[in-house]
Amino acid sequence: MDDLRDILKGRAAHAGVTAGVQAAVVVEASQKVFDDFFGATPQLVRVLYLKNHTLTVSVSAAPVAQEVKKNEKHLLEGVRVACEDPSIERIRYLL
């Protein structure tokens, strides 16, 4: 007889819940990285979602978007370390 934990893991993976939960964890950890980089008040960057290895963020102004683009490699490295997810490839920003 299967262990209940294994059954639940299988059902969660089959339903796609695991990917959604992992994406939510990545968004939360990424927000902390951006807050540390830009400062938490006022919130200049808001992490929206993760889709297809691309982290989408909303920026408050054009100069902030330029800073995100200029420091993309550094920010991605911080996000990858914080999330323990090396599959995040780029940052997309929305004004």
Read off the CATH number of the domain in which 69 is found.
3.30.300
| Structural domain for 23, as ranges | 4-94
User: Is pLDDT of 1 > 60?
Assistant: no
**79-85 mean pLDDT:** 89
* pLDDT at residue 59, rounded to an integer: 94
Name the helix (H) or strand (E) containing 45. strand 45-51
Mean pLDDT score of the chain? 87
* Calpha distance 49→56 (Å, rounded): 5
Question: In total, how many domains does the chain have?
Answer: 1
Asked if residue 87 lies in contact with residue 51, where contact means CB atoms within 8 angstroms, the answer is no
Which residue has tokens 């370390």? 81
What's the predicted TM-score (pTM) here? 0.79
* pLDDT at residue 5, rounded to an integer: 82
Q: What are the structure tokens assigned to 22, written together?
A: 């992992």
Which of 1-10, 13-22, 50-59 has the weakest average pLDDT?
13-22
